[in-house]
Structure 1
Amino acid sequence: MLSLFRFIRELTADFTDLLFPILCLGCNQPLSANEKVLCTQCRINLPETGHHQEPYDSTLLHKFAGKVPIQFLASYVYFTKGGIVQKLIHGIKYKGQKEAAKEVANWYGHQLLSESKLVNKIDIIIGVPLYKSRFHQRGYNQADWIAEGFSEAFSVPMRTDILVCNRFKESQTRKNRLERWENVKTVFTVKNHDEIKNKNIIIVDDVLTTGATIEACAIELLRAGCKSVGVLTLAAAHR
């Protein structure tokens, strides 16, 4: 009886997949049974940055020089308009593909564990928070799902109750570096200060562009007494 039930369940699942196949976020083609988020070809073609090989002296880290002491910075892939990564991030941010955010972060997390020592002494992972109205509008914070993916890979807790967005932050799209900073410089607040005293923290987000949002978050965390701040993002603007 159990075998018959399993057969019917698998047959139903196969039929559902035939009618409503799960599509690759990169090329929009159906995924095979052993593929997640991206098809094998799109995953092979991801433009990986290799930042974890030079996390203390990367071009991106120089964005924060003289502004805030970021311990290290690494992004998984480069973001270019019209490319696989843009389609992936668009699906994560605007099409409800929150599980994809977690899965891709998990991929990168395991790569970091096997190829670097960056995360050996991390205590807490924090996603860049959204203001409550934006959260309710979208239904989720993609940065929290990215943080959860890293959390699972590193076996390090992620927290959503420490860094909060205390007022509406306009979209950073189409803003220059100064405008982005003016838009975020007083947006974030730290709660539960005792929870981060002398802790090594990673801030995570989807895409790093000018770094203004990360800078604002890091300043508040360091003011609140954490020991160090590192940064991980899924993508970085390729300029």
Structure 2
Amino acid sequence: MFRFIRTLVADFTDLLFPVLCLGCSRSLGDNEKLLCTHCRINLPETNQHRLPYDQNLLNKFAGKVPIHFVASFVLYSKAGTVQKLIHQIKYKGQKEAAKEIAGWYGYQLKSESELIKEIDVIIGVPLHKSRLQQRGYNQADWIAEGLSEALNVPARTDILIRKRFKESQTRKNRLERWENVKTVFAVPNPEEIEGKNIVIVDDVLTTGSTIEACAIELLRAGCKSVGVLTLATTR
């Protein structure tokens, strides 16, 4: 009887407040999570984890900082499903979605890629404490947590810090982005990462300026290598 009542209440709640697909806003079915089957199947996956030394991605960092590998889960395009997903994750409180999707990617990496074998620590690109307070969460940390659980590699939020608040990178070009972040990050306890292989994670890889600034500080602090994993990348 109680099970029947719980099911009835749940069905009534779903009728009044349906759970919607984060990609197309249609109601999700019983076995769907975050995305409807159509949006999930049609995610523009890059398969870059199979080609981690693809020069197109590494060129974003060439001559600036030695990045061991770069891979992103899906391609980002304006007005596409991935843009909608990232917007929901970054600005609409969908932090659990960041973790869930990162988990999808993590299990894909675990079963199809050699990248994860030498990873010691996963680090999300940090937010300044004022931005963190404003937003309430750091989506990169939730992405790191999703990857961490799937890959069984520790995620740390205390290794890399953002020293100063900087304005949004969204409308800046490559040079402006670099000038905006080049002295922003720091590693307060270098002994924590000495000789370790670090992976930096973020939501979207665009020019690579922010990750470049993070990698410089991590390498300067004595880590062995830096790799990059993101949920999405621009073409």
- TM (norm. structure 2) is 0.98
Alignment of 1:23-42 (within 5 A): 23-42=20-39
Matched, 1:51 2:48: yes
3-state DSSP class of the match of 1:191? coil
Alignment of 1:111-122 (within 5 A): 111-122=108-119
- The aligned residue for residue 6 of structure 1 is 3
Matched, 1:226 2:218: no
Alignment of 1:75-86 (within 5 A): 75-86=72-83
Residues in 2 aligned to 1:142 and 1:221: alpha-carbon distance in whole angstroms = 20
Q: Is the 8 A contact 1:124 1:157 kept in 2?
A: yes
Shift of 1:33: 1.8
Deviation sequence 1:112-166 (CA, Å, 0-9, x none): 1111110111110000000111111111000000000000000111000110111
Matched, 1:188 2:185: yes
Matched, 1:15 2:9: no
- The aligned residue for residue 63 of structure 1 is 60
- The aligned residue for residue 141 of structure 1 is 138
Q: Is the 8 A contact 1:129 1:143 kept in 2?
A: yes
Deviation sequence 1:43-67 (CA, Å, 0-9, x none): 1111111111211133011111111
3-state DSSP class of the match of 1:41? helix
Shift of 1:5: 2.3
Shift of 1:32: 1.2
3-state DSSP class of the match of 1:145? helix
Structure 1 counterpart of 2:103, from 98, 103, 106: 106
- The aligned residue for residue 90 of structure 1 is 87
Residues in 1 aligned to 2:7 and 2:144: alpha-carbon distance in whole angstroms = 33
Residues in 2 aligned to 1:29 and 1:171: alpha-carbon distance in whole angstroms = 31
Shift of 1:6: 2.5
Q: Is the 8 A contact 2:48 2:54 kept in 1?
A: no
Matched, 1:162 2:154: no
Matched, 1:217 2:214: yes
- TM (norm. structure 1) is 0.96
Write the letter of the residue equivalent to 2:18.
P
- The aligned residue for residue 169 of structure 2 is 172
Shift of 1:16: 1.0
Pairwise CA RMSD: 0.9
The number of aligned residues is 235
Matched, 1:152 2:156: no
3-state DSSP class of the match of 1:12? helix
